[in-house]
A and B are shown apart, each in its own frame.
Chain A
Amino acid sequence: MKDLKIKVGVFVAVLFMLLVAQTLAAEEPQTIVFLTWKPNQPEVWDSLIEQFHRENPQIRVKVQVGPHSSTEYHAVVTQRLKNKDPSVDVFFMDVIWPPEFASAGWALDLTSRFSKDEQKAFLSPTIKANTYRGNIYGVPCYLGAGLFYYRRDLLDKYKFDPPRSWTEMLSQGQAIVEGERDPTLHIFSAQFKQYEGLVCNVLEFIWSHGGNVVDPESRSVLLDSTDSVEAVTFVREKIIGKAAPRGAVNYEEPESLELFIQGRAVFHRNWPYAWAVANDPEKSRVATKVGVGVLPAFEGHNPASTLGGWQFAISRWSQHPDAAWEFVKFMTSSHSQTRLALDGGLAPTRVRTYDDPQVKEKMPHLKSFLPAFKTARPRPMSPLYPMISSELQRFFSQAIAGSRPDIQNLAKATSARIEKILLMEPAIK
């Protein structure tokens, strides 16, 4: 009887100690939430996060996955940050969001943690994109820029060099299409559906013709300037339904790439990810026959690529900004950049990663991306960019797909609308 009492006593004591120990242990590591979208190769990210856990046993990262489309994901992130949700610590941020997230006070100002010296290690367009009114709000993870893909085999066959100008692209393409006698072969494929990608594509034509949407210094709207309107007119008259199939007006990245990898387009505009797909013999009929470089420009102007890519940012409402910063620092370290490049095929934002011997050996094409990356241009930087983008999408789509648009007048009306949007900016102090 006494024995039993002791046994029970010991049992209860042990149970109690176990419970205490467990609560202590449970309180030990800090959990931070990383809000992102489902990446194309989740296993690469998982293994990086596992490594972070091994190196920082006091921090646990919980990944929350949002929608894949940037626009849809934007709606999720803004809803949570607007409601001051403290359960988001780190979030993935598209290159067009920093001004909005900074001015709304959702992204933590990282200036004191992310020093100017440290910033110099990154490609300068990505740093500029994350800077708003002198302060920095994001650490670039990987970048994209509009690249020009072409059929090296066809250019060689007809003894052409990759075109430097848009008109040269048209004449080379014309000669190749006529020479090949293939009714399914088109000169060019790109993304012209009414969505964010349309803005990226048409901006490249406008910029490479000396035009612009908003002057970054004076904030005046240049969309209805001759340079801009002529570039848009060129897309309507020479590209849609001529060099590119009419269907391109409803193409996003996958459809336009499909045309190219089925060998049905000589030239193709896309982001860096298209390289790996175009050279995958299982998916592509033109594997190993593809070249890549800088987009053409109009005569007398410089080529321009639209800057894309993703950054890490920390929520202003995070309860654990220090732990969050440790995670961001780890994910954007040279080591992580190399892993994301080698295993995930993503273009690094750190300049030095391009000289990493492993990266050079496994991804020799990255070097040819570098000129486009270094000069990539941001879309209009404004906290109200989503509204500006809607106006641009509508205008560009009407201009290239409408039945008989008066492009000059449309440009004027759109400019007026964008000016009205920009007028709201001074409200931000």
Chain B
Amino acid sequence: MIHADRKFYLALLAPTILVLLVFIAAPIAQSVVLSFHRIIVGLPQLQNPFIGIENYQELLHDSVARHSFLVTFVFVSVTTFCEVFLGLLLALLINHRFPGRGSLRACVLVPWAIPTVVSAQMWRFLFNDSYGLINYTLFGNEVSQYVAWLAKPGTALFTIILADVWKTTSFAALLILAGLQIIPDELYEAARVDGAGIWRRFRHITWPLIRPALLIALLFRTIDAFRVFDLAFVMTQGGPADATNVLQLYGYKKMFVEGWMGYGSAISVGVFIIILILAVIYVRMVGRRVLEANL
């Protein structure tokens, strides 16, 4: 009987496993295989030889890759922190009951619903040095004060971070809001009866109970931020002076612009490993927190 059950479960699982294999496992395996070969699209004469870990050795000594990693790291840390922090504030706000809450909740999601390519283009126009609304708002007609946002390494990275925070804060807010809504109202009422102020209610009820949701928001945002590509691709193409050359963009350029398939794959695999490690750490933390919360 148990045996038959097992078969039935397996049959139910089969489609999912198949999809995962074909669309997730196979491409990853393919990238790993490619990364062990010297494949240069413009040089078919090379015959795509197997070169072991040479691409990875080169990657470790590649100063451009190191710089790209640094840029990506700054991007990930700043955006993740800002998004989760602002997302928390936003979630607390829209968790309150007030007239128009429903429509406000819908509005909050609008930036997240806009395709990144479109919002990236929008921010590029807003930050345009001569005609952008940002300069006009800040400096009015003082043309000489206008800042060329996308033309300086520091501010260029800042604009991309801002565009990402604007876009995905609402996603973080949504996740945290879900956490807030499972907190029973009775807890707050009891605390209020005991004379706890707003800060104590937050500190001792809300905060411990939404930590799992916060961690999940962190997990999603960190992993997603590591994969940033489209913002930099549309807004700066990695410039100026490589200031926004995030890892994925660097890998894309190596593969599809320079035709260096093997090396580009090595970069992708590198990003994959980083994300995998992060995911494992987070999932373990989340797992434990959820367990503790349930106890």
Contacts and interface: CB of A to CB of B under 8 A. Distances in A.
Interface of A: 71, 74-75, 78-79, 82, 100, 103-105, 183-184, 193-195, 245-250, 255, 259, 264, 383-384, 386-387, 390, 393-394, 397-398, 400-403, 405, 424, 427-429
Contact of B237 (A195, A245, A264): A195
A32 B152 CA distance: 48
Contact of A78 (B42, B64, B242, B243): B42
Interface stretch (B73-81, B206-214, B253-261, B285-293): B253-261
B240 interface: yes
B163 interface: no
B110 interface: no
A390 B253 contact: yes
**Chain A interface helix/strand/loop/mixed:** helix
Nearest to A384: B42
B43 A195 contact: no
Contact of A74 (B43, B241, B242, B257): B257
B143 interface: yes
Contacts, number: 115
13 contacts: A78-B41, A104-B45, A193-B236, A194-B236, A194-B238, A195-B237, A245-B129, A250-B240, A390-B253, A403-B153, A405-B241, A424-B40, A427-B43
A367 B243 CA distance: 42
Contacts of A405: 241
Contacts of A428: 43, 45
B102 interface: no
Interface in B124-177: 128-130, 143-144, 148, 150-154, 156
B46 A194 contact: no
A427 B42 contact: no
Contacts of B195: none
Nearest to B236: A250
Given A194-B239, A397-B240, 13 more contacts: A79-B41, A193-B239, A194-B240, A246-B129, A247-B130, A249-B150, A394-B242, A400-B240, A401-B239, A401-B241, A403-B154, A424-B43, A429-B45
Contact of A104 (B43, B238, B260): B43
A249 B43 contact: no
Interface in B221-263: 236-243, 253, 256-260
Nearest to A383: B42
Nearest to A262: B130
A255 B124 CA distance: 12
